[in-house]
Structures are given as structure tokens and as C-alpha cells.
Amino acid sequence: MEFFNIVIVVGLFITGLTAIPVFTQMRNHPRGLHILFFAEMWERFSYYGMRSILIFYLTQHFVFTPGFASSQYGAYTSLVYLMPLIGGILADRYLGTRKAIAFGALLLVAGHLLMAAEGNSASQTLKYQEAVYTFEVDGRGDLRRTFLPVGEARCELNAAAGTDSTCTIKASEEGGLVFTGLPANAPIPMTIPKGEYELGVADRNPLFVGIFYMALALIIVGVGFLKSNISAIVGQLYPPGDPKRDPGFTLYYYGINLGAFWATALCGLLGTSVGWWAGFGLAGVGMLFGWLVFTRGRLLFWTKGPAQLPDNVGRPPAPEDLKGKGLFGLSKEYTIYVGGILAVGLVWLLVQSPPAQILDGLNDFTQSALGFMNLPRQDHVHIFYLLMLGSIVFLGYIFYTMTKVSKVEAQRLGLALILVAAATVFWTLFEQAGSSLSIFADQNTQLPSDGLMTVTAAQTQSFNAGFILLFAPVFAALWAWLGSRNMDPNPTLKFGLGIIQVGIGFFMLVIGAQFADGEFQVPMIFLILLYMFHTTGELFLSPVGLSAISKLSVYKVLSTMMAIWFLSSAWAQYIGGIIAGMTETESVAGSALSNEAALKASLDVFYILGWVGVGIGVLLSLASFVLKHMAHGAFTEKTPEELAADAASKPAE
């Protein structure tokens, strides 16, 4: 496997094309923006680098089923979006954003580096009658080949045309196993009907499974302390009403996607070609760089000199109170740090699937209480109840508030909740990227594998970030041009159009299936088109999302509405994991037993997701012409800070 491929080449071109104007503009912004830019870039590098190979690590290294792996992915990412609710409160009331970010980043460094402790791979087994046979895997990533030793023969699963395998295994139409080239004295027949064999797993080391969950827990808690706070500290660089504030966040958004692109390009390549430890380790090194840049306050953190991040931003609200006594004789500050470390243990329990007896009980209760919803059995159903509890508390408070405010404020809050629901639909579909779409790229996409012209399945996740780097300036200019002519679509319409595009993206794969080859693999161009539509949809919805919610919210519940926004993202991740699990077919050591069955299962789900996206998007777009009146001018009103800045800029009479 080459360590320099077409994704890296294209990435260098895109970075060179887009980075120079970004860094040039940054010189006109407050001192310290570039520190936050690179700190967050490295944090996103670590997160997306780890995410790019996580689903493959679960299915190929630990040999979890695709359904369980998708559920595990959904549980992990759901908790990632839940924890910032707590981290934001602790930062606002006690630590300040600077200390919260530094502590969270340190937990992230530990978590990502711990992910590199992989141990030996588990093995897939096949039991026929009383004999147990163990599959062997040669190579990694897209060059991975799976064999089953049977007597003197070594039979390859789904051998590609042109290989030198004399014995092969394929799935029959009925779901059984069909061998070709078996010796006459082989201990198993040429055909094993479905139900007469059993697939199992051997050598899955519980110690390293536990280490894996501990790494996830460290990352989840670390993101909780860091994610919302580093965005908040960017805003603190600008005085109220500063017109450079929004362009500053645009530059910051570029850094996020620059980190995301290079993470999936590099970690995705190393993880599936060199070793899982290399991909996860590189993500950890990236986070370490981010921590050093932030805590040293210098881009060149190894050099001496004054900090480039202003001292007045991100400080604790009451520094002296933070030094006061907390629990166990510790200061309040260190009490919070100890609490954060203890929270890692709690999250370690939450991120795992509960013991079988508890899991069965929860699922049985879900089926009896919510049977009308026809929910499938869930491996992480406890996350469902955690999300339900959070939703009841936060939404109940908002509905109560709506009865105590004016009619205009109540309608604005109602519109905000509609937008939150729409965002949940969008992110549920969009976030298939890390689970079902990654598996589809691996099993059912014609990925080039010829030296420089190589694209790994994990690297396909870089398509989204790459398109954002290219399209974000175009969309920013488009919105500005439309705005200058009073033609800028209202946020509700943008939400609807964004959801339509994410639905259209799935239809690209449905269309592409008509051009699948004999291995039931779709040309890569259709996966690229999917990510292009998903990216343009994201650029319609994401940049205006939080801004719209903040403008529609009543001041006294603004923090609660921000919490609901994160809660909706957590729901999207969890539901997305369930949906991804619906694409599951029987697999062997991380490879589909039948590529044909895998393609059909994926397309059945993608077809439905396409219509869900287009249908809900069209309905919301049409309704936007009525719903926009619920805003009562909130999207065009200036904030108090903007009004004060306008007044200050007027000449004295």
C-alpha cells in the first residue's frame, strides 16, 4: 500500500488553493484567533481521524457484527454530544472556558493515545457439526483477503476475479455456503445449507475491549469539557457589535474542516494500511499538538516568547471563589477535575452495552411500552432512556416557559423547536457517513487501488470536508449577494432545502446501483456525488442553525435552547446508529458474506432515507412561507450589542 495517494494529492491542492486567502484574512482579526484556529483544527483532526477508522476497527479487529458496531458507534457519538451540556455549565459557573478547554484537551490526548493499544485481533470461526474452523485474514483495508483453512485447502471468501485462489467460498441465494475447489477428502461438503453452520468469535481479549471502552470514555468526557467552550472563547475575542465577529467564525469553521479533511485522509490511510495503532496514534499526536498550542498560547509552541492568546479571555468568572474549599480538602477547581476523572468511570459503563440480563429487560420493557413504534432490539437501549429523560426535562421547561411569555415570544420558541426537529432529521441522515456509508464504501464501492490512484474506504469520509473547503467561500459569497438584494432565503427555507439535498444524496447510490459490476460494487463517482449533495445541504443548514436558535430564543432560556440543540444532535447520532444497523447482513471477519445481499440491504435503507429526506424537506420548504411569520422579524432584528454599536458609530449632533 502506498503512503501517498490521490486523496493526499488532491488535499494538498485544495489546501493550497483555500488556505492562503484564509490566513491572509486572519491578520485583520484579533490577536489569538490563530491560536484557537489551530487548537480546534488539531482537536477536530483527532476526532475525525479516530472516527474515520472506528467502524472498521470494531468490525475487523474485534469482529463485532456490523449491527452491533453501528449501535456502538451511535452510542459513542450520542454521548459525545450530550457531555458538552455539563462541560458548558461547569465552565460558565466555575472554571471559565480556558481551564475547561485545557482539562478537556488533556483527557482527549489520553483517550486517543489509549486507542492505539489494540492488542491481538479477534478471529472469526465457523462451526460445522462438531468441528470448528478459524478464518484467517491477510492484509488490511481494501487489500484484505479472508481465507478458511479446510484440511489441506485454503479457501478464499468472495475471491475477486484474477486471484490465484484454487478454493473459494461464496454465499448461496438461500444464505448457505458454497465451496469450489475443495479436495475430495475435505472434512466438509461442497455446500452447507443455512442453519447447519454457526459463525462465532474467538480470541477477543476482554482486557483490550475494556481498554477500548476506557479510551472512548476519556474522549467523551474530554469533548464535553472542550467542544462548546472553545467556540465560546472565539466570541470573547471580539467586542460587542464588532462586524468582524461573523467573518471570524467563518475562518474558525474553515479550521475545523481543514482538520477534518486531513484527519480522514491521513489517519484513514495509516489505520487501514499500516495498523490501527498508527491511525489512532496519529489522531492522539494531533490532539497533543492542539493541547500544546492552546496551553502555551503560541502557534510555535516549542519556541519562547509571550503568549499570543489574550489573558482577558476565557478566565474563570470568580477566580478567588474557585480557589475556595471544595470536597475532600481540595479547592473547588481540583474538585471539578477529580469529578471529571470520576465521570470517566461512569461514562465507561454507559458507553458499553449493558449485561445481557439488564439489556433484555430494558428491551422487553421498550417493546411493551412502545410496541406501536415497532422499534428493533437495541444493543444500547439505555442511551435511549437517557435521551428520553433529558428531552422530557428540557422540553418540559421550554413548554412551561411558553405559557409564561408573550404570544410573540411563544411563537418564536415554537419555531425554534421546529428547527431543532428539522436539524435532528438532517443530522440523522448526514451522520450515516461514519457507519453505514463507510461500510458501503468498503463492501460495495469500486475503490481504486493502484499505487498513486488509491482511495481507501476510510478516506472516503474526507470527501465531505474537502467539498466544504471548496464550497464554503462560494456559499458565503452567494448568501452575501442574495442578502444585498433582499433575496436571502429565510432560515426555515434553508433548513428545508438542506434536508432535500441530503435525501438526494442517497438517491445517488440508488442510481449508481444500476452500474454495479459483477462484484456488486458501485462506481465511486456516485459516492462522491452523495457527499457533494450532503455537503451543499450542510452549508444550507449548519452555518445558520445555532444563530437562528439564539435569535428566536427568549433570553432567560437561551442556555436551555442551546442544550436542546446539542440534545437533538445526540438523538440524531443515536437514531443514526439504529438505522445503520438495519443495513446489516451476515459478515465474516468484517467482510460481507454476500456482496449481493449487502448491496440490496444498503439500497433498501438508502432508498427510504432518500424519500424521508426529500419528503420532509419539501414539506418544511413549503411550510416555511407560513412558519417564517412565527419569527416576527427575529431574523432581521439587530441584537442589543449591534444596536449599541450602531449608536456609537453615529456622529454627535
Quick: pLDDT tens for 596-638: 999 999 999 999 999 999 999 999 999 999 999 998 888 775 5
Q: Over range 210-223, report the average pLDDT.
A: 95
**pLDDT per position as a tens digit, 291-320:** 998 888 888 778 887 777 777 777 888 888
> Rounded CA gap, 543 and 253, in Å?
9
Residue 645 lies in a domain: no
Within its chain, how far is the Cα of 368 from the centroid? 32
CA distance 397 to 132: 57
* Model pLDDT, residue 241: 67
Same domain assignment for residues 46 and 189: no
Give yes or no: residues 108 and 155 share one domain. Answer: no
- Output 356 or 580, whichever has higher pLDDT: 580
Q: How confident is the model at residue 376 (pLDDT cuts 50, 70, 90)?
A: low
List the alpha helices (DSSP H) in 91-170.
97-115
Does the pLDDT of residue 492 top 70, yes or no?
yes
pLDDT at 28: 83
Same domain, 191 and 305: no
- For residue 179, which phi and psi values (nearest 5 degrees)? -100, 145
Mean per-residue pLDDT, 510-529: 96
Final residue before a domain boundary, out of 331, 360, 389: 360
Average pLDDT over residues 393-421: 92
Residues 407 and 271 grouped into a single domain: no
Asked if the structure places residue 230 within a domain, the reply is yes
How many structural domains comprise the chain?
Answer: 3
C-alpha cell recorded at residue 639: 441584537
Q: Which residues contact 276 (CB under 8 A, 6 or more apart)?
A: 53, 57, 61, 116, 118
In a domain, 365, yes or no: no
Q: Does the pLDDT value for residue 493 go beyond 90?
A: yes
22 and 8 part of one domain: yes
Residue 653 in domain: no
Task: Report the range of poorest mean pLDDT among 263-267, 396-400, 542-546.
Answer: 542-546
Give the pLDDT band (50/70/90) at residue 650.
Answer: very low
Length reported for the chain: 653
Residue 421, in any domain of the structure: yes
176 and 323 part of one domain: no
Residue 251 pLDDT: 81
Cβ atoms < 10 Å from Cβ of 568: 27
Contacts of 471 (CB under 8 A, 6+ apart): 535, 536, 539
On whether the CB atoms of residues 221 and 344 are closer than 8 A, the answer is: yes
What CA–CA distances, in Å, run from 310 to 201, 231, 238, 240, 581? Answer: 54, 16, 11, 17, 47
CA distance linking residue 61 with residue 515, whole number of Å: 31
Examine the fold and report which residue of 187, 202, 217 is the final residue of a domain before the chain moves on: 202
Predicted local confidence at residue 598, as pLDDT: 94
Element containing residue 385 per DSSP (H, E): helix 381-402
Q: Out of 162-176, 186-200, 394-408, 553-567, pick the least confident.
A: 553-567
- C-alpha to C-alpha distance for 283 and 106, rounded to whole angstroms: 13
**Residue 435 within any structural domain of the chain:** yes
Phi-psi label, residue 191: left if phi above 0, alpha if psi -120 to 50, beta otherwise: beta
Regarding whether 242 and 211 lie in a shared domain, the answer is: yes
Residue 105: per-residue pLDDT: 92
Q: Does the structure show a pLDDT above 60 at 200?
A: yes
CA gap 535, 472 in Å, rounded: 9
| Average pLDDT of the residues in 365-389 | 78
Residue 571 pLDDT > 80: yes
Rounded to whole angstroms, the Cα distance separating 516 from 429 reads 23
For the segment 341-347, the average pLDDT, to the nearest whole number, is 94
**Reported pTM:** 0.90
Is residue 348 domain-shared with residue 223, that is, in the same domain?
Answer: yes
User: Which candidate, 270, 546, 560, places its Cα nearest to that of 402?
Assistant: 560
Which residue from 242, 315, 286 is spatially nearest to 95, judged by alpha carbons? Answer: 315
- Of the residues 164, 183, 202, the one at which a domain ends: 202
Domain of 538, CATH number, reads 1.20.1250.20
For residue 278, the tally of other CB atoms under 10 A from its CB is 18
* pLDDT above 50 for 649: no
In a shared domain, residues 153 and 294: no
| Residue 525 Cα distances to 264, 415, 522, angstroms | 18, 38, 8
CB-based contact 210:69 (threshold 8 Å)? no
Question: Which whole-number Å values give the CA distances from 28 to 21, 25, 33, in the listed order?
Answer: 12, 6, 10
Examine residue 474 and state whether it is found in any structural domain, yes or no.
yes
**Position 619, amino acid:** L
Residue 331 gets the label, from left (phi > 0), alpha (psi -120 to 50) or beta, of: beta
259 & 309 share domain: yes
Average pLDDT of 377-404? Answer: 90
Which residues does 105 contact at the CB level (< 8 Å), separation at least 6? 39, 43, 222, 226, 287, 290, 291, 294, 295
- Each residue of 31-42: pLDDT tens digit? 888 888 888 888
Backbone angles phi, psi at 105, to 5 degrees: -65, -35
Domain assignment of residue 193, given as a range: 123-202
Residue closest to 189 by CA, chosen among 174, 173, 178, 200: 178
Q: 146-186: per-residue pLDDT in tens?
A: 999 998 889 999 887 777 888 999 998 888 999 999 988 89
Higher pLDDT, 455 or 308: 455
**Amino acid 372: pLDDT:** 62
Q: What average pLDDT does the structure give for the chain?
A: 87
Contact between 168 and 159 (Cβ < 8 Å): yes
Q: If you compute the radius of gyration of the chain from its CA atoms, what whole number of angstroms results? A: 26
- Domain contains 367: no
- Using the predicted structure, report yes or no on whether residue 561 has a pLDDT greater than 80: yes
Whether residue 58 is found in the same domain as residue 170: no
Question: Above 80 in pLDDT, residue 380?
Answer: yes
With a cut of 70, say whether residue 266 has pLDDT above it: yes
Are residues 102 and 142 both part of a single domain?
A: no
Contact 86, 570 (CB under 8 A): no
What are the angstrom distances between the C-alpha of 287 and each of 50, 243, 408? 11, 31, 45
